[in-house]
Amino acid sequence: MLREAVYHKPWGAYAYLLDSDTLIVILKARKNDLKSCQLFHGDPWEPNKPLEKIDMKKAATDDLFDYFRAIKEVPASRRFRYTFLLDDGSEQLWYTEAGFSSKKPEPKELGIPFFEFLYLRENDAFSVPKWAKEAIFYQIFPERFYNGDKKNDPPNTVEWGALPVSHATFYGGDLQGIIEKLSYLSNLGINAIYLTPIFSSPSTHKYDTRDYYQIDPHFGDLATFKRLVQKCHDLGIKIILDGVFDHCGFEFWAFQDVVQKGPKSKYKDWFKIHSFPVKTQPKPTYETWGKDIWILPRFRTSNPEVKQYLIDVAVYWIKEADIDGWRLDTASEIDHDFWRDFRKVVKAAKPEALIIGEIPHDASPWLEGDQLDSVMNYPFRDIVIDFFAKNSITAEEFDARLAKLRMQYKQQVNDALYNLFGSHDTVRFLTLCDGKVEKMMLALVFQMTYIGMPVIYYGDEIGMSQSGHNWEDSRAVTEWNEIKQNHKLLNFHKRLVAIRKTHPALTGGDFTTLHWDSNANTYAYLRHNYEERILVALNNSAQTQKITLLEEKTGLAEGQVLVDLLSMERYKVQDGKIQLFLKSFTGVIIAEH
């Protein structure tokens, strides 16, 4: 047994409350090292009572490790002391907080050497808004979505459809345009919208905020925005805004006060000014977002006045317009204390408000239940691109990387991760697929049946791609000419969205890998809950492939009939297995009939 590979800690993603009455315990060990893993538990205040045993099941396997999981109803006493018995076939070892021993540990005062919860506090259970599990997001870059009110167009507006020349190319997209396209979005089936910034700003992207309390005049006004939110809610669509609280724009009123008054400005400590007078060239004399991007002065969020101002902004838009949450720009660049206070105030204003952070890497420190609800799942995007778009990893590597990512977070976090293919900051997914729609469609089958919130970047559903690999190309205007839209792809999106919304196992079920074949590049998995079992099989190769799924792994019964929700083709469990023949770059979603 490789002891160095065995790992557990009684907090984080290794031991946590799934809800107030359910405890999850995870142990990590070297891949294929343990034959069995058992958890023994009892009450720390009843040391003489025999310990109860749970056979831990293997929940996931990545490239190096196996993850064993126990799910336990919380005892009435809400006290829990535990240890592990590990067996690799040649030796048995007890694993406790003190380390390894061949002898069964004996309880001592204060629970040492056992792992222990002296009390499982129900308010420590991390909960995300209930609607997040069922959310299917649609991201909109307002300036490039649709021009619904030409009266508020910027004076230099160009013709809709022309390629953007720079970040300063205006097309006139606005909030009225979104209102006029809500029937389109409702027919697509999405039930949540994320808008990139809509507050007053001189740019097309609006990440250089001028006034956090004013809708940009080229987008509309407060009344228009409130009408948009109300119409979304009438259609069962949630709407969240982009909160740019790490930095503001050069024209932000408080920063302009510093520019004009220098060290005499009462707002000088709102920012990190290196020297006065404030200069932008040849290098900014103040801290900025990015590297010397002079139009984006960075806030000093540790300043209580700044913190209060920004948190007040967040609450204002919840109370004034009834928005459903925030997507937080560059969230990892703001201190944890800020986000803890932010969460308390936002959740007090609207308990079901969703808080999503832009953190491109492991976001565990922000996802303990005291700060964010979710993050933009860029690691998911990387895995999807490597497997489906680039074919640069095998099916085994695909499964291993997904497993590692799932085990990184608590289950309730995984259920609410923002699973994107692309955004306003990335190359469009179809472009990464070299324009091969069948690859994108296969990836969509996976996205819409995997754990987390699927996200559609505006225009992806109609086959929008880009000519280059820069930001502005990915922010081109939406193609509303139906002749130029890919209706096969659009209808495929609609079908998948409808399937996801109809089957609870896809929004709240567990995930189990059933099959991978790196030579054939095929992959299959099970989504399941108490209500149903959904099998998904993918052929990510250029040839027709056979996939065999065994009855014992799927939990299905001999003779049971299943149906592919995409083609309506029927399958039957025969001789303890299901055999599938999939054409190149196709997938099936098989449900119990």
Do 424 and 557 belong to one domain?
no
> Is 521 a member of any domain?
yes
Do 158 and 280 belong to one domain?
no
Do 29 and 160 belong to one domain?
no
62, 329, 368, 415: the catalytic one is: 329
Q: How far is CA 566 from CA 247, 436, 548, 589, in A?
A: 46, 20, 19, 7
How would you write the pLDDT of the chain (593 residues) with one tens digit per residue? 999 999 999 999 999 999 999 999 999 999 999 999 999 999 988 888 999 999 999 999 999 999 999 999 999 999 999 999 999 999 999 999 999 999 998 876 655 689 999 899 998 999 999 999 999 999 999 999 999 999 999 998 999 988 777 778 999 999 999 999 999 999 999 999 999 999 999 999 999 999 999 999 999 999 999 999 999 999 999 999 999 999 999 999 999 999 999 999 999 999 999 999 999 999 999 999 999 999 999 999 999 999 999 999 999 999 999 999 999 999 999 999 999 999 999 999 999 999 999 999 999 999 999 999 999 999 999 999 999 999 999 999 999 999 999 999 999 999 999 999 999 999 999 999 999 999 999 999 999 999 999 999 999 999 999 876 666 788 999 999 999 999 999 999 999 999 999 999 999 999 999 999 999 999 999 999 988 999 999 999 999 999 999 998 999 899 999 999 999 999 999 999 999 999 999 999 999 87
Q: Which residue has the tokens 């990335």?
A: 426
143, 358, 368, 373: the catalytic one is: 358
Residue 36, judged by CB atoms within 10 A of its CB (0-12, 13-18, 19+), counts as middle
Do 232 and 337 belong to one domain?
yes
> Is 129 a member of any domain?
no
**CA-to-CA distance for 84 and 105, rounded, in angstroms?**
10
Active site annotation includes 329: yes
Burial 322-351 (b: 16+ CB within 10 A, else e): ebbbbbbbbbbebeeebbeebbeebeeebe
> Is 130 a member of any domain?
no
> Is 104 a member of any domain?
yes
Which of 64, 99, 124 corresponds to the end of one domain?
124
> Is 545 a member of any domain?
yes
How many domains are contained in the chain? 4
Do 495 and 352 belong to one domain?
yes
Do 191 and 270 belong to one domain?
no
Do 292 and 329 belong to one domain?
no
The CA-based angle 40-44-49, given to 5 degrees, is 65
The CATH number of the domain holding residue 28 is 2.60.40.10
Do 414 and 273 belong to one domain?
no
The CATH number of the domain holding residue 586 is 2.60.40.1180
Do 151 and 113 belong to one domain?
no
Which of 448, 475, 502 corresponds to the end of one domain?
502
CB under 8 Å to 576, separation ≥6 — which residues?
Answer: 550, 551, 552, 558
**CA-to-CA distance for 427 and 474, rounded, in angstroms?**
6
Do 74 and 41 belong to one domain?
yes
Full residue range of the structural domain in which residue 36 is found: 3-124
User: Left if phi > 0, otherwise alpha if psi is -120 to 50, otherwise beta: which for 206?
Assistant: left
**CA-to-CA distance for 442 and 517, rounded, in angstroms?**
17
Do 428 and 405 belong to one domain?
yes
Do 376 and 477 belong to one domain?
yes
Q: Is the entire prediction scored with pTM above 0.75? A: yes
The CATH number of the domain holding residue 444 is 3.20.20.80
**CA-to-CA distance for 479 and 150, rounded, in angstroms?**
18
